Amino acid sequence: MLRARLRTRATAVDVDLSVTVAGVRFPNPIVLAAGFDKDAKMVPGLFALGFGGIEVGTVTPRPQPGNPKPRMFRLPRHHGLINRLGFNNRGVAALVEQVRDLPWRPAPIGINLGRNKDTPNERAADDYITCAEAVAALADYVVVNASSPNTPGLRELQKPDALRSLLSGARSALDRRAPRKPLFLKIAPDLSEDAIRAAVDVAIGCGAQALIATNTTVSRPVTGGAASEEGGLSGAPLAPLAISCLRTAAAHAQGRLSLVAAGGIFDAEDAYARLRMGAELIQLYTGFVYGGPATVARLLQGLAALLQRDGFSSLDQMLRARQT
């Protein structure tokens, strides 16, 4: 099969880069972030490029069109993107069909959940529960996304009480259908340090296994060009915020929760730095948009070289050494 041959070539490195998070084995730590393949229509082609995992979604219970176009803007000078897509997707039933019919799953598939735009926050938990039940058996891990800036009110759900109801609802829904299915929480980079620590505590208390830091930012550390467009900013300008969020979460979690780094990761040095500061997995979206189809192969080669430079024979060895 051509796809499998391409994948073998893209992932051929001398160092074992596999990592197990929440009991799920990822053949390498480079995962495609949510939002690129919302409806899981491109999964085999994306796996051919070498990704160690693919997170599909955000999916909502019912299909919805998202915001009017234009809704995505490049900031080429800054290596950034601004998007206000607004969870355009074909709904969870269509996603379930797509994922069920996949002919080839060489690495884990995460499914990222949200609420419909017209579901009020008081009933948001129902949307997450509906989606979690629908995807439980098909996903390798499930993500509660309460951090996208383009669904009005969504980020309010990161407050501890609301978050507890979403996460415990999703946790019970998963346990009814697929006990112990890993549950991840994805947070915004715009939370205060106290709010990050509170989110970590709620996630642990509700039986989540990992935290994804971070989604896009509504702040604007850069100006000019498309920077004044409304929406979530990703890519290089997000990196400092995402890093500080990751550091805060890592310091507070103290190993009780796995960490997934996202936000402005473009090359192997970026990825390696996040792994050293506490992440076990790397997600990227904007770096892939700017870097093109060879991005994963380049990152894996670079990561292998950095590990060898530092005297490690596997990624796992480095992650374990980090904790001591």
Beta-carbon-side half-sphere exposure of residue 71 (alpha carbons within 13 Å):
12
Q: Which is nearer to ligand FMN, 3 or 291 (CB)?
A: 291
Least distance from ligand FMN to the Cβ atom of residue 96, Å: 17
Give residues 76-95 in contact with ligand FMN (rule: CB under 6 A). Answer: 81, 83, 85, 87
Q: Is 186 in the site for ligand FMN (CB under 6 A)?
A: yes
Q: Using CB under 6 A, which of 29, 110, 182, 235 touches ligand FMN?
A: 235
The residue from 147, 148, 165, 234 that is catalytic is 148
Let me know if 234 is a catalytic residue: no
**Residue 64 contacts ligand FMN per CB under 6 A:** no
In angstroms, what is the minimal distance from the CB of 89 to ligand FMN?
8
29 binds ligand FMN (CB under 6 A): no
* Residue from 148, 151, 158, 258 in contact with ligand FMN (CB under 6 A): 148
Residues touching ligand FMN, count (CB under 6 A): 27
Phi, psi of 47 (to 5 degrees): -65, -35
- Torsion from C-alpha of 237, 243, 246, 247, nearest 10 degrees: -150
Torsion of CA 240, 222, 82, 218, to 10 degrees: 70
Q: Which of 17, 14, 34, 35 is nearest to 25 (CA)?
A: 17
Minimum separation from the CB atom of position 279 to ligand FMN (A): 13
Sole binder of ligand FMN in the list 15, 22, 24, 34 (CB under 6 A): 34
For residue 261, how far is the Cα from the chain centroid? 8
User: Environment class of residue 57 by beta-carbon count within 10 Å: exposed (0-12), middle (13-18) or buried (19+)?
Assistant: buried
Pairing mode, strands 232-235 and 80-83: antiparallel
Between the CA atoms of 31, 169, 188 and 296, what dihedral angle is there, to the nearest 10 degrees?
Answer: 0
What is the rounded distance in angstroms from the CA atom of residue 2 to the CA atom of residue 43?
Answer: 14
The distance of closest approach from Cβ of residue 323 to ligand FMN in the complex, given in angstroms and rounded to an integer, is: 25
| Terminal CA-CA length for the chain | 43
Among 19-27, 232-240, 300-308, 310-318, the segment contacting ligand FMN (CB under 6 A): 232-240
Among 50, 86, 108, 287, binds ligand FMN (CB under 6 A): 287
> What is the closest distance, in whole angstroms, from the C-beta atom of residue 272 to ligand FMN in the complex?
15
SS3 112: strand
Q: Is 170 in the site for ligand FMN (CB under 6 A)?
A: no
- Residues in contact with 317: Cβ distance below 8 Å, sequence separation at least 6, in sequence order: none
Taking the complex as a whole, how short is the minimal distance between the CB of residue 232 and ligand FMN, in angstroms? 6
Report if residue 284 touches ligand FMN, rule: CB under 6 A: yes
* Residues with a known catalytic role: 148
Site residues (CB under 6 A) for ligand FMN? 33-35, 38, 58, 72, 81, 83, 85, 87, 112, 145, 148, 186, 215-216, 234-235, 238, 262-265, 284-287
